[in-house]
């Protein structure tokens, strides 16, 4: 049997600082419906906060979504 080199574990994701593309992937898997990078960028354009480096904090994003929904009466 051939020996295999140990695989390197994937880098851990930081929910307080996710690049937009990773945030879209995480939210799609967790939410049960597709979330695209374009959808997140539209929310950012509408006022969703990002970190100084352009990454997203998922807790802050969730809070922004709740404020948006409560302001519309959803």
For residue 60, what pLDDT is reported? 98
Q: How far apart are CA 8 and CA 26, in angstroms?
A: 21
- DSSP assignment of 17-56 equals SB-HHHHHHHHHHHHSS---HHHHHHHHHTT----TTS-B
Q: Which sequence spans correspond to the domains of the chain?
A: 20-72
For residue 35, what pLDDT is reported? 97
Tens place of pLDDT per residue across the chain (74 aa): 556 666 766 678 999 999 999 999 999 999 999 999 999 999 999 999 999 999 999 999 999 999 999 987 65
> CB neighbours of 44 closer than 8 A, spacing ≥ 6?
20, 50, 56
Residue of 27, 30, 28 whose CA lies nearest to 61: 27
């Amino acid at each position: 049997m051939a020996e295999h080199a140990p695989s390197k574990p994937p880098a851990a994701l930081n929910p307080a600082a996710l690049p937009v593309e990773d945030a879209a992937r995480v939210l799609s898997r967790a939410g049960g419906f597709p979330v695209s990078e374009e959808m997140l960028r539209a929310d950012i354009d509408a006022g969703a906060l990002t970190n100084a480096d352009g990454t997203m904090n998922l807790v802050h994003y969730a809070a922004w979504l709740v404020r948006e929904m409560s302001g519309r009466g959803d």
